[in-house]
Amino acid sequence: MAGGNERSVKALKEVWRRAENSLCADCGKPDPDWASSTLGVFICLSCSGIHRNIPSISKVKSLKMDQWDDAQVQFLAKHGNAVTKATYEAHIPIYYYQPTYNDCQVLREQWIRAKYERKEFTEPGKQLPYSDGVKEGILWKRGRDNGQFLPRKFLLSEREGCLKYFSKQDAKEPKISIKIDVINATFQPVKIGNPNGLQITYLKDNKTRNIFVYHESGKEVVDWFNAIRSVQFHYLKVAFPIASDNEIKNRLTRNFLKEGYMEKTGPKQREAFKKRWFTLDHRRLMYFKDPLDAFAKGEVFVGSRENGYSVQKGLPSGTQGNFSWHYGLTIVTPDREYLFTCETETDQLDWIAAFTSVINQAMTPQEYAIEAYFKFKS
């Protein structure tokens, strides 16, 4: 607003204060203080940086520091987030993942480019690279034993209901074939060490297996991600014909509730505490020696409060075993207690909050079956 005439400044403030413009048009972050003078949307600082990388489509300016002339303000007033979204988000497939400000850069960038640059959602029934029910291509996959990323052919098929990958590009038989209903996919750029890193998780014999992949192209890896969601959605529509689209959408890929290091001790609670990487995937608490391990060293089922599960701050009095971190927490199950320590109080409180959110939810019939498996296994 700096240096603008009084009329323009007042008009800009009025448009800016509209309820529709109170959240970033692209990621939903509150109180956006940037806008696109060519698209007419109000956006946050982070998304403005992505817009700046597509100057042929979007010209961004600060609402606080830049000068806006009368024509630009009138354009914003005529458009705004609601009108622009009605054009550029008119026909988003229900399975398409719409990122928020908590999501990684590649998801947010490809979402913005899909909307404004490629105009993927402006027309109904548009053929999209992730909507065919089949996707084949090369992803760089991390080797389970040597940790090296090597190119591997992947094939996703809605007709077969599975994702396959091949150890050699000319191989006739896949190395692994994974049923689509047991797959989860979540972006992990920091863990994998690549901005386009994707973690694919699946269940085999009710145990969790991790595959870590990436692609040099951000568009390609996000297309793979949404292709998986598309195939999952159509598979579940057949499996659960009376479920609503939104109910099915909520069963597609999910982010982990929490990840990070904690120390743990063994079932006798006298062993030395060992540092492990933990992943909380809803009711499954998995721990790994290394964050990029293919298999978990162990898993703990986290049930509901009404079934005898709880989380407590601190360790039981008289706890034995050496531990270097002093912010403890205890998971209580009907069968035993699990003891953990965290490096900081913030970590401790964050883990307790994550466990509490799971424990406070009622269990589904499917989760009762998973609980029974864990009890049988132990």
CATH code of the domain containing 192: 2.30.29.30
Residues 237 and 268 in one domain: no
Q: Are 366 and 239 in contact (CB under 8 A)?
A: no
What pLDDT is attached to residue 1?
53
**Residue 85: inside a domain:** yes
**Residue 127: inside a domain:** no
Question: Could you give the number of structural domains in the chain?
Answer: 3
Would you put residue 161 in left (φ > 0), alpha (ψ -120 to 50) or beta? Answer: left
Structure-token match 């990436």, residue found: 214
What is the sign, positive or negative, of the torsion defined by CA atoms of 16, 22, 23, 26? negative
Residues 235 and 272 in one domain: no
Single residue among 63, 84, 117 that ends a domain in this structure: 117
Residues 27 and 91 in one domain: yes
Residues 245 and 268 in one domain: no
pLDDT in tens, 263-281: 998 877 777 889 999 999 9
Residues 272 and 169 in one domain: no
**Residue 123: inside a domain:** no
Closest CA to 168 of 191, 148, 152, 144: 152
pLDDT in tens, 337-356: 999 999 999 999 999 999 99
**Residue 196: inside a domain:** yes
**Residue 128: inside a domain:** no
Q: Are 214 and 138 in contact (CB under 8 A)?
A: no
**Residue 93: inside a domain:** yes
Residues 161 and 245 in one domain: yes
Residues 41 and 70 in one domain: yes
What pLDDT is attached to residue 205?
81
Residues 145 and 74 in one domain: no
Residues 87 and 16 in one domain: yes
Mean per-residue pLDDT of the chain: 92
Judge if pTM exceeds 0.85. Answer: yes
Residues 244 and 262 in one domain: no
CATH code of the domain containing 65: 1.10.220.150
Single residue among 82, 117, 152 that ends a domain in this structure: 117
Apex 254 CA angle, 263 and 87, nearest 5: 145
- Domain limits at 321? 258-376
Residues 206 and 267 in one domain: no
- The Cα 201–Cα 109 span in angstroms is 24
**Residue 166: inside a domain:** yes
What pLDDT is attached to residue 378?
59
The arithmetic mean of pLDDT across residues 59-63, rounded, is 94
pLDDT in tens, 145-192: 888 999 999 999 999 999 999 988 888 899 999 999 999 999 999 999
Q: Which two three-digit tokens encode residue 194?
A: 């690549």
Single residue among 208, 224, 250 that ends a domain in this structure: 250
Residues 269 and 317 in one domain: yes
**Residue 126: inside a domain:** no
Apex 164 CA angle, 158 and 169, nearest 5: 125
pLDDT in tens, 279-318: 999 999 999 999 999 999 999 999 999 999 999 999 988 7
Answer whether residue 3 shows pLDDT above 70. Answer: no
Higher pLDDT, 127 or 372: 127
Q: Which two three-digit tokens encode residue 164?
A: 């396959």
What pLDDT is attached to residue 199?
97
